[in-house]
Amino acid sequence: MEHKKIIVAIDGHSSSGKSTISKQLAASLGYKYIDTGAMYRAVTLYALRKGFINNKAVDKDKLIQVLPEIDIRFRYNPETKKTDTYLNGENIEDEIRALEVSNNVSQVATIKEVRMAMVKKQQEMGKERGIVMDGRDIGTVVFPDAELKIFLTASTKVRAQRRYDELKAKGLDVSFDEILKNIEERDHIDSTRKESPLIKADDAIVLDNSNMIPEEQNKWLLKKVEEVKNAH
């Protein structure tokens, strides 16, 4: 019997490895993967390019005005076997991971109109189910009816180390202390913002992956997916 496809919502803190495990899970299930963090990063990059951000202060009115001009899409890259983010037809996957974007994305994501526009796009993407979506408010706001909700966490030092290693591997000159500070700042902004704060959905399962490798997490998640499918 063919089980119906479900929505897997993975929320969690910055650099907790959400996108890594979400991509892996989607590939294992043959589902579509949607990186909502990349969507907010794309809006942030657009705002930075337009000069709407100055010393972490965002010109909200100007950004809200240009929201209809921002087209974000995801395309599978057969060379890297990963999904790349496109902003108005341009591949911006590497650019949105830079520290300048990381330092400003939380401020952009607190803007109500930005969140509303992104949530609408995300809900459209998930209409046919069979998706793994990660972010900060997937299980609480975007898909409160998702069949499986995971809340991912890890210690701040572990998360900073992961981000540091990732950026170093890309050849970027970064400081561990600066990354740790960025992660602590983002945790605070994400958890205390008025619009869709980062909170665990009541029916989400917590996964602390501080001491787990991606393969162990994937195995754990596949087991949870099976349990949910069998229960439905």
Each residue of 194-221: pLDDT tens digit?
Answer: 888 888 999 999 999 999 998 999 999 9
| Structure tokens belonging to residue 82 | 């990963």
Q: Exposed e or buried b for every residue in 106-141, given b needs 16+ CB within 10 A?
A: bbbbbbeebbebbbebbeebbeeeebbbbbbbbbbb
Q: Are 124 and 32 spatial neighbours (Cβ–Cβ below 8 Å)? A: no
In the chain the domains, ranked by start, together with CATH numbers, are 7-231 (3.40.50.300)
SS (H, E, C) 169-213: HCCCCCCHHHHHHHHHHHHHHHHHCCCCCCCCCCCCEEEECCCCC
Helices and strands (H and E) in the chain: how many: 8, 10
Q: Are 224 and 29 spatial neighbours (Cβ–Cβ below 8 Å)? A: no
| Structure tokens belonging to residue 134 | 């990660």
Least confident of 3-7, 132-136, 216-220: 3-7
**Mean pLDDT of all residues in the chain?**
92
Determine what percent of the chain is predicted with pLDDT higher than 70. 99
Give the pLDDT mean for 48-62: 95
Give the pLDDT mean for 118-143: 92
Which residues, 6 or more positions from 122, have their beta carbon under 8 angstroms from its beta carbon? 34, 36, 39, 133, 135, 138, 142
Q: How many CB atoms lie within 10 A of CB 75?
A: 11
Q: How far apart are CA 162 and CA 176, in angstroms?
A: 10
In this prediction, residue 166 has a pLDDT band, given cuts at 50, 70 and 90, of confident
Q: Are 6 and 129 spatial neighbours (Cβ–Cβ below 8 Å)? A: yes
Give the pLDDT mean for 72-85: 84
Question: With 80 as the cut, is the pLDDT of residue 2 above it?
Answer: no
Q: How far apart are CA 183 and CA 160, in angstroms?
A: 7
In this prediction, residue 1 has a pLDDT band, given cuts at 50, 70 and 90, of very low
Q: Which phi and psi angles does 108 have, rounded to 5°?
A: -65, -40
Q: How far apart are CA 31 and CA 33, in angstroms?
A: 6
Question: With 60 as the cut, is the pLDDT of residue 6 above it?
Answer: yes
